[in-house]
Structure 1
C-alpha cells in the first residue's frame, strides 16, 4: 500500500471525463415540458476536480474532449474552476463530448445521457506518458474511464506509472451500465482495478456487482482491505456508510437535508473526503465531511457549481447533526 500521508500535498491528478450538463429550468420541471435549460460542467471526474479546487486543493485532469464548441465549453469551465487542463487534449472526427440532459427533481428523476463516440474514451497511452507523476499527491479515477478502449489500457498504464512514483491510487467505482458492453466485463475490470488501489469508494450496489451474482458486497469490500487496500468506504445511501480499514470498521450516518435531486452525491462525497484527508484530518472526520458535502450538493442545482467551499462546508457541519440510522 502506498503512503497515504502523501495526500497532504493536496495536489490531485484525476483521470476521466469532462462533459456538459443541461438542467431543465426552473427546478422541478420535467424534461418533456422544459422550454429553458441551464448549463454546467459535468462528468464525474471533472465534478470531483471542481469539488477539490473549491475546497482549497489543486487538481489536474487527464482526458480527451471533442474538438468542437462543446469541447471548448468544457475547457472554459475547467478554467473557471481553476482545474489544471494541461493534460486535456482535443480529439477530432466523430468524437463527441459527454452530454447529460437532466431534471432537478427528487422523485422519478429523469436523465438522458449521450455517450455516442465519447471523446474521453479516445484517451490513449500517449496521453498518460510524460506526466510528472512525482509532482502529485495521488491519482484519482472513476470507473467510467475503464469502460472502453483505448482509455481502459491508458488508465492501467497510468496506474503503473503512478505506483512507480509512489502515488496512492484512489478509485470511485461509479458503475454506469450504459457505458459497458456487458455486466460481466464491467465486474471483471472493476475488480482488477480495485485490487490495485489504496482507497476504494462505492455504494452497496456497486460492491455487490463487483462481488458477483448472489455474493455479498460488504464482504467484497472487506476482502479488498484484507488483500491490501488501506481504506474502503462502503456507502449505503440513507443508511449511511461503513468505513473499513485493517484496524476495523466504523459505521457513520447521514446529514438530513431538503434534497432537490439525487445526483451529485457521489462526486461531492469523494471531493469532501479527499480534501479532508489532504488537510490531515482523522479518517472519521474525512467521512463526515464527505457526507456533509454530499448533503449540500443534492440540495442545490447542478453538480460542479453546487460543490461547497471550505467556509460553506464548515458552516454546514457546525449547524447540522449527523443522524445514524438504527
Structure 2
C-alpha cells in the first residue's frame, strides 16, 4: 500500500488535566490521549483526508494496546507499530496554564523508550520509498538504534530520486533533555539534511540545526544544505517559508489559547495536506496556521485535530482565502 504520509518516531500516552490554570500538584482529574509529535502529525494528516501510517514502538502493556486502538480510531495505519518486551509505554504529563505556560513532564523515556528502539531492519523500505511524504523529527536521532533506523528510512528515498509529488520533511523538534549537547544534535541534523526536501522549526530549533541568525539567514542556510522549502516559525509574528524563488510570511490566526502544546503537530499534519494538494505556498501556510490555532484553542492534542471544514470556516471568519478548488 502506498501512503500519502508516513511518520517516524515518538509515541506516548498524553495525560492532560481537566483542571486549567493550576499546577500538577493541584490537579484532581486527568484524561489520557494518544501523544508523541510524529504520531500526532499522522493523526492530523488523517483528519485532513490523507492516508497515513506511523512507524514506531510501544511497550508490551495495556497503554501500548490503547495506542494501537487510538491510531485505528483516528484512521492511521498501525501495522508498523510493534511492542518492545521489557519496556513500558511512556506517559507525558502537562500542566495547562494559559496563555503561555504548558510545562511537560516525560515519564518512561529515560534511559530509553520503546520508540527509541526502532531498528533499521524494521523499516519497511517500500512503504517509506513510495510514500508521498516521509515525516521525521530530530528527537528520533538522539539515541541508537533509532538514529540508525531514521538514517535507513531516509536512505531508502534518496532526495535526487524523489518523484515530483514526493517530499521528505524533517521537523527540527529539538528537546534538550534528550541530548548530551546542542553540538551533538547539530552534527546529527547536518548528516540527515542531505536527504531532506523540507525543514520546519522555530528560531531555537533552527539555531541548533544551522546556527544563530535572523530567520532569513537560517532559512538560507537550510536552503544551502539542499532543502527545497525552509519553514521558520516566527512566534507571535506567524511563520515564514522560503524557497530559492519565493519568500512567504503567514500572519498568526488569532484565537483564545487554551493549550498550545498540540499546535505544532496540527500545523504539521495540515502542512502535509496542503503540500500534497499542490496549493500555493502562502495558502499552505495559512491553512496550517489555522489548523494549529484550532488545536491551541482546545485542551487535547490528537483528539482536537480539526477537519478541513473547520479550518476553512476559521480562515473565512478571519478574512483569509480558502484554497481555490479545495474540496476537503
TM-score normalized by structure 1?
0.90
Distance 2:265 2:190 in 1: 20
2:313 is matched with which residue: 309, 312, 315? 315
Match of 1:124 among 116, 119, 123: 119
Describe how 1:50-199 pairs up with structure 2 within 5 A: 50-93=43-86, 95-106=87-98, 107-114=100-107, 115-116=109-110, 117-163=112-158, 166=162, 167-199=166-198
Shift of the 168–277 alpha-carbon distance from structure 1 to 2, 3 Å rule, reads: closer
Give, in angstroms, the shift of residue 222 of structure 1: 0.8
Give the gaps of 5 or more residues in structure 2: 321-328
280-289 vs 10-19, which moves further: 10-19
The residue that corresponds to 1:6 in the other structure is none
Counterparts of 1:172 and 1:194, CA distance in 2: 11
1:133-166: per-residue Cα shift (whole Å, max 9, x none)? 3442121111111111000011011101122863
Count of residue correspondences: 312
Counterpart secondary structure, 1:56: coil
Measured after TM superposition, the shift of residue 192 of structure 1 is 2.2
Offset at 1:209?
2.0
Q: Which residue of the other structure, out of 6, 14, 24, is the alignment partner of 2:7? A: 14
Q: C-alpha offsets along residues 147-198 of structure 1, whole Å, 9 cap, x if unaligned?
A: 1100001101110112286342111111111111222101211222233200
- Verify the 8 A CA contact 1:208 1:215 in the aligned structure 2: yes
Indicate the larger mover: 181-190 or 299-308: 181-190
Residue 278 of structure 1 corresponds to which residue in structure 2? 276
- What is the CA-CA distance between 1:35 and the residue it aligns to? 1.7
Q: C-alpha deviations, 1:202-243, integer Å up to 9, x for none?
A: 01111112233x555642321221342111111111011221
Equivalent in the alignment of 1:253: 251
Detail structure 1 runs of 4+ shifted over 6 Å in the superposition.
none
- Is residue 226–residue 246 contact of structure 1 (8 Å, CA) maintained in 2? no
The Cα shift of 1:31 comes to: 0.8
5+ residue gaps, structure 1, are 1-8
Give 1:96 deviation, angstroms.
2.5
1:198-237 equivalences under 5 Å are 198-212=197-211, 215-216=213-214, 218-237=216-235
1:35 is matched with which residue? 28
Tell me how far apart the structure 1 counterparts of residues 122 and 135 of structure 2 sit (CA, whole Å).
Answer: 16
Quick check: 67-76 or 190-199, which moved more? 190-199
Question: How big is each residue's C-alpha offset from its partner over 1:244-303, in whole Å with a ceiling of 9 and x where there is no partner?
Answer: 101031222101110012211211111111111212211110000011011111100111
Cα distance in structure 1, aligned partners of 2:274 and 2:10: 23
Q: 1:129 to 1:261 in 2, by over 3 A?
A: closer
Between the aligned partners of 1:316 and 1:129, the Cα distance in structure 2 is 38
Q: How does 1:232-243 map to 2 (within 5 A)?
A: 232-243=230-241
Question: 1:89: how far off?
Answer: 1.0
Q: CA 1:37 to 1:320, structure 2 compared with 1: closer, same or farther past 3 Å?
A: same
What's the offset of the Cα at 1:72?
Answer: 1.2
Distance in 2 (CA, whole Å) between partners of 1:206 and 1:218 is 14
- Report the Cα distance in structure 2 between the residues aligned to 1:58 and 1:130, rounded to whole angstroms: 17
